[in-house]
Amino acid sequence: ADPSKRAPLMDWLERFAASPLAERIRSADDARKEVPFRIRLEKGALMVGVIDVIWSEGERIFIRDYKIGSIENAPQELYRHQLLFYALAARKHFGGSPLDLALVSLKETREIPVERNSLSWEALEKDIAAAAHQGAAGPFDPSLERCPLCPWKGECLLGRR
């Protein structure tokens, strides 16, 4: 890895480590980092993932997902759906506990709340099952129209055009 790229990242991590959010996470008795999970959806699909950090305060469960890039340039809907997937896993594990979801920009040392809005848990599970099916079945034909939203555009020959 290029050492010149490590310095900014180290700066972001040091600033985050000194932030009130990092202190809040450190002070939580039950904070867990890199928490793997498996959930079986109603239609039978087994979904797996890893939550960056999860903890509770009273009855409320907090889920945070760390991002190293600028959040404004990120595929917002992708990140929102990722956190909603984590929320569904937490809901299946913790039952009806209230959930607090947010992205954490390490670069900007800030939280960006993610709301579930009025989407029911059943509708969310149905959407996740449909996305999982499409992800497994394809098709995956290249499409320039999707390039601006794609998180892998820098790695893809089509996206670099």
pLDDT digit string (tens) for 6-44? Answer: 888 899 999 999 999 999 999 999 999 999 999 888 777
| Sign of the torsion formed by the C-alpha atoms of 69, 75, 77 and 78 | negative
Give pTM, 2 decimals.
0.79
Residue 2 zone, left/alpha/beta (φ > 0; ψ -120 to 50; rest): beta
| pLDDT at residue 78 greater than cutoff 90 | no
Share of the chain above pLDDT 90, in %: 39
Query: Tokens in use for 143?
Result: 């499409």
At residue 24's C-alpha, the angle toward residues 21 and 28, to 5°, is: 145
Binned at pLDDT 50, 70 and 90, residue 158 comes out as low
Binned at pLDDT 50, 70 and 90, residue 138 comes out as low
